[in-house]
């Protein structure tokens, strides 16, 4: 087991990474002292792992809430179901929500934990690659609005993250690829040697080699933990973690939160950010091609078929990262180093988007 610490003083917590961790009742049990536990999961994950997680809390009051699967259910209506379950079980302020699932479950359950009685404990038990390397770490919780992604949320750090790498064996290939988009993102923004390693080992990762996957997850978590410790509430450097996300969130919203998985939309968005970086003279076309090639080798889309540049730009204006001074974008100064920059001239943004649009279906 690898353990990485998120250093946030009294709000700090460990990230445990390794195989078989959800079956480690002692580990789960010591992550929270709460006597009331609500395990929030979904219809896909619960049949696989709920029983073993519940067993770790057999000596406490443990309830389960199983939600429908899919990004389209990450909304206020489903959030209300979690709150209703907590109230129906008469859970107190010293209770804990254990989020067992992917990014949707973690974000939604985390937001409920942030809001219930002004905040209760949250234990993140991510079961997808995307959640293990990104969404379970850092304390961002949210639900979507029909017009824009993650518009309703709060910062709420977990008490611990337990990333059981064995859960990745049950992922469909498409879900695994979606997680690799976030893994690639970390190399692009912060670590050129890690990016080169990914280029060499991508097929090994897609085969779910245990040692390679643990190394990739650990490196992503190390990068995120360091950034979050420096900028917990995204006033500066933490925005780097949003490479591709402003474009990607717009693509997800236009697809009704169902056509593209989050990682797929982010992959397309990373391609758009790379093309815009070329347009601004920050990187060369060959480097943007290298980015696109890596995403495609990971099994990810790099074009947004059927969308328009104007439609994407309209949705980008609703992005939660837009401020009174306008929209900021994360662009590549080179492969392995990203920067937060004010959005350039709209014509340049449109051209970059258009280079990543596929034919209408």
Angle of helix 245-254 versus helix 262-279 axis, rounded to 10: 130
Handedness of CA 18, 20, 22, 27 (dihedral sign): negative
Q: Find residue 100's DSSP bridge partners.
A: 125
Bridge-based pairing of strands 328-334 and 337-342 is antiparallel
- 268, 356 Cβ separation under 8 angstroms: yes
Say how many CA atoms lie within 13 Å of 73 toward its Cβ. 18
CB atoms within 10 A of CB 289: 12
Task: Tell me, rounded to whole angstroms, the distance of Cα 249 from its chain centroid.
Answer: 12
* C-alpha span between 353 and 331 (Å, rounded): 14
Distances (CA, A) of 183 to 186, 218, 234: 5, 10, 20
Q: What angle do CA 162, 79, 104 make, to 5 degrees?
A: 40
The helix (H) or strand (E) run that includes residue 256 is none
- Please check whether residue 72 is in contact with residue 257, taking contact to mean a CB–CB distance below 8 angstroms: yes
Which is it for the CA torsion 49, 50, 52, 57, positive or negative? positive
Please say whether the beta carbons of 148 and 321 come within 8 A: no
Catalytic residue ranges: 118, 140, 182, 224, 234, 238, 242, 245, 249, 262
The position carrying tokens 């792992």 is: 49
Side-chain-facing half-sphere of 139: CA atoms under 13 Å: 25
The span from the CA of 150 to the CA of 135, in Å, is 12
């Amino acid at each position: 087991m690898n353990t990485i610490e998120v250093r946030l003083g009294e709000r700090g917590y460990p990230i445990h990474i390794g195989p078989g961790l959800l079956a480690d009742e002692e580990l789960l049990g010591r992550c929270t002292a709460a006597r009331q536990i609500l395990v929030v999961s979904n219809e896909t994950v619960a049949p696989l792992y709920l029983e073993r997680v519940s067993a770790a809390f057999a000596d406490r009051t443990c309830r389960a809430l199983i939600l429908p699967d899919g990004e389209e259910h990450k909304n206020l209506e489903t959030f209300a179901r979690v709150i209703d379950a907590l109230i129906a079980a008469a859970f107190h302020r010293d209770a804990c929500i254990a989020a067992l699932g992917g990014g949707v479950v973690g974000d939604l359950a985390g937001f409920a934990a942030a809001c219930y009685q002004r905040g209760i404990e949250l234990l993140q038990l991510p079961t997808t690659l995307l959640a293990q390397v990104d969404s379970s770490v850092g304390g961002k919780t949210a639900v979507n609005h029909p017009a824009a992604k993650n518009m309703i949320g709060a910062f709420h750090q977990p008490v611990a993250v337990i990333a059981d790498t064995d859960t990745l064996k049950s992922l469909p290939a498409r879900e695994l690829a979606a997680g690799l988009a976030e893994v690639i993102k970390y190399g692009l923004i912060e670590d050129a040697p890690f990016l080169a390693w990914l280029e060499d080992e991508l097929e090994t990762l897609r085969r779910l080699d245990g040692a390679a996957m643990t190394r990739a997850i650990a490196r992503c978590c190390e990068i995120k933990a360091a950034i979050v410790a420096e900028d917990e509430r995204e006033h500066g450097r933490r925005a780097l973690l949003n490479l591709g996300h402003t474009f990607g969130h717009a693509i997800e919203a236009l697809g009704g939160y169902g056509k593209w998985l989050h990682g797929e939309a982010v992959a397309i968005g990373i391609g758009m950010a790379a093309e815009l970086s070329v347009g601004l003279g920050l990187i060369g076309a060959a480097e943007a091609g290298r980015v696109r090639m890596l995403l495609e080798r990971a099994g990810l889309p790099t074009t947004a078929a059927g969308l328009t540049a104007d439609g994407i730009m309209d949705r980008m204006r609703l992005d939660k990262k837009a401020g009174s001074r306008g929209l900021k974008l994360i662009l590549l100064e080179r492969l392995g180093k990203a920067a937060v920059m004010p959005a350039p001239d709209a014509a340049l943004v449109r051209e970059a988007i258009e280079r990543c649009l596929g034919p209408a279906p």
